């Protein structure tokens, strides 16, 4: 009986032995955790705005819009823009420190070339899209241009990155995360500034004269983000769960 009790106690104690982690492993876990939480918040609100809020606002009377702007749209946009920033910032930190950095050390080179190429390509994509969006083309034209630019930037990164050309983590996140950068800049460069002008003007009783133009640009940027989120999530998944590039 004593031996059985001792055996049961040892088994029970074994269940409560916490695994040991290095500081780097703990940092990885924390960064991934915050990246997931912020990303779920961001994409969830993106889908809310595109699937629920846009059609809803078309049915709202003008007299009700100020309260909706003040108590729903404005708080949602605050969560939306800050969660976007946290998602991209933490995701980039994780990618650069735990994938690009180790590959650079393994290959005996600098990580700056890959990081620089990443930002150059995706900021250029956003700059072109921003110009196109502000010209207010049809959604089909914008969609075609977006597809061409994203495919071209992804191809260039996968084939010409100086570091990690054989590493699926570096390449998949380099493509999917690049789309996230474009989406982030759409949020902070078009959606938020335009919506802020419309909301503040409406609440003050003096909507901007170009409110329709601002709303159209914000809509196009938001709809672009909506469609980009689909391949973004695909490449985020393949970065860890399914190898499509390198090894």
Write the pLDDT tens digit of every residue in 146-180.
999 999 999 999 999 999 999 999 999 999 999 99
Identify the band that residue 3 occupies on the pLDDT scale cut at 50, 70 and 90: low
Query: Once rounded to an integer, what is the mean pLDDT over residues 111-122?
Result: 97
Residue 20 lies in a domain: no
Nearest to 143 by CA among 230, 220, 50: 220
Identify the band that residue 244 occupies on the pLDDT scale cut at 50, 70 and 90: confident
Residue 13 lies in a domain: no
126-134: long-range pairs with CB below 8 Å, 24+: 126/181, 126/182, 126/185, 126/186, 126/189, 129/182, 129/186, 129/224, 130/185, 130/186, 130/189, 130/190, 133/186, 133/190, 133/217, 133/220, 133/221, 133/224, 134/190, 134/217
Residue 7 lies in a domain: no
Residue 1 lies in a domain: no
pLDDT at 94: 96
Residue 10 lies in a domain: no
Residue 172 lies in a domain: yes
pLDDT at 98 over 60: yes
Average pLDDT over the chain reads 91
Query: Once rounded to an integer, what is the mean pLDDT over residues 73-79?
Result: 97
Question: What is the value of pTM for the model shown?
Answer: 0.90
Nearest to 85 by CA among 222, 184, 209, 212: 184
pLDDT digits (tens, 9 = 90+) for 188-220: 999 999 999 999 999 998 989 999 999 999 999
Identify the band that residue 83 occupies on the pLDDT scale cut at 50, 70 and 90: very high
Percent of all residues in the chain with a pLDDT value above 90, rounded to a whole number: 80
Residue 11 lies in a domain: no
pLDDT at 8 over 70: no
Nearest to 187 by CA among 227, 221, 217: 221
pLDDT at 11: 57
pLDDT at 20 over 80: no
User: What range does the domain containing 204 cover?
Assistant: 27-241
Number of domains in the chain: 1
pLDDT at 112 over 70: yes
pLDDT at 50 over 90: yes
Residue 21 lies in a domain: no
Q: CA quadruple 39, 40, 41, 43: dihedral positive or negative?
A: positive
pLDDT at 1: 54
pLDDT at 230: 97
Identify the band that residue 222 occupies on the pLDDT scale cut at 50, 70 and 90: very high
């Amino acid at each position: 009986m004593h031996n059985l009790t001792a055996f049961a106690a040892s088994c029970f104690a074994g269940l409560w032995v916490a695994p040991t982690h290095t500081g780097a492993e703990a940092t990885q876990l924390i960064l991934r955790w915050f990246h997931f939480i912020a990303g779920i918040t961001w994409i969830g609100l993106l889908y809310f705005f595109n699937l629920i809020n846009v059609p809803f606002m078309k049915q709202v009377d003008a007299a009700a819009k100020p309260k909706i702007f003040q108590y729903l749209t404005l708080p949602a946009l605050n969560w939306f823009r800050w969660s976007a920033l946290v998602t991209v910032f933490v995701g980039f930190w994780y990618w650069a420190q735990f994938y690009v950095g180790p590959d650079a050390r393994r290959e005996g080179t600098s990580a700056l070339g890959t990081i620089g190429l990443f930002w150059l390509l995706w900021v250029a994509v956003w700059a072109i899209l921003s110009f196109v969006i502000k010209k207010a083309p049809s959604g089909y034209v914008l969609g075609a241009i977006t597809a061409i630019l994203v495919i071209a930037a992804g191809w260039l990164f996968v084939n010409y990155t100086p570091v990690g050309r054989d590493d699926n983590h570096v390449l998949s996140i380099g493509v999917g995360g690049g789309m996230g950068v474009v989406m982030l800049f759409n949020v902070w460069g078009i959606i938020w500034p335009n919506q802020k002008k419309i909301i503040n003007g409406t609440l003050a009783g003096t909507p901007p004269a170009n409110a329709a133009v601002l709303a159209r640009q914000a809509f196009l940027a938001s709809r672009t983000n909506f469609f980009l989120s689909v391949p973004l999530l695909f490449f985020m998944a393949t970065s860890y769960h399914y190898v499509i590039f390198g090894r």
